[in-house]
Structure 1
């Protein structure tokens, strides 16, 4: 008998508009969410991140000046899950 793991998650992605990100609370987030269920016989799990803890207003990538020269954008948010 195979053991099947079932994990329920809210999958969230968003666009972050940066035209006003050089001002306090200027970055504008446009999130999209959907509920997903992941099943399988694997052993990797992810605890997830609360929506209120995804990032703070002063995180790089949120407090960001798009009008200064840059070569790299610091992606805000929790560490990506590699499974």
Structure 2
């Protein structure tokens, strides 16, 4: 899951699902705002997305680790159907 920064609202318009792409290895983020040792990952988006500036749509981008969260998966229900 790609998430927006709660303080700035960027760099994406909305939170959205995507998958880390294995075509490129994670790379160090070389930016003054980066945390020490922070990596950026190539992420393919499930649906094209726009950035917080309105540019796009993008299908893939390099995303800083701080904006990535594990995708939520719903656990199978333990309840049995009583509709029989």
Q: Could you state the TM-score of these two structures normalised by the residue count of structure 2?
A: 0.21
TM-score when normalising by structure 1: 0.21
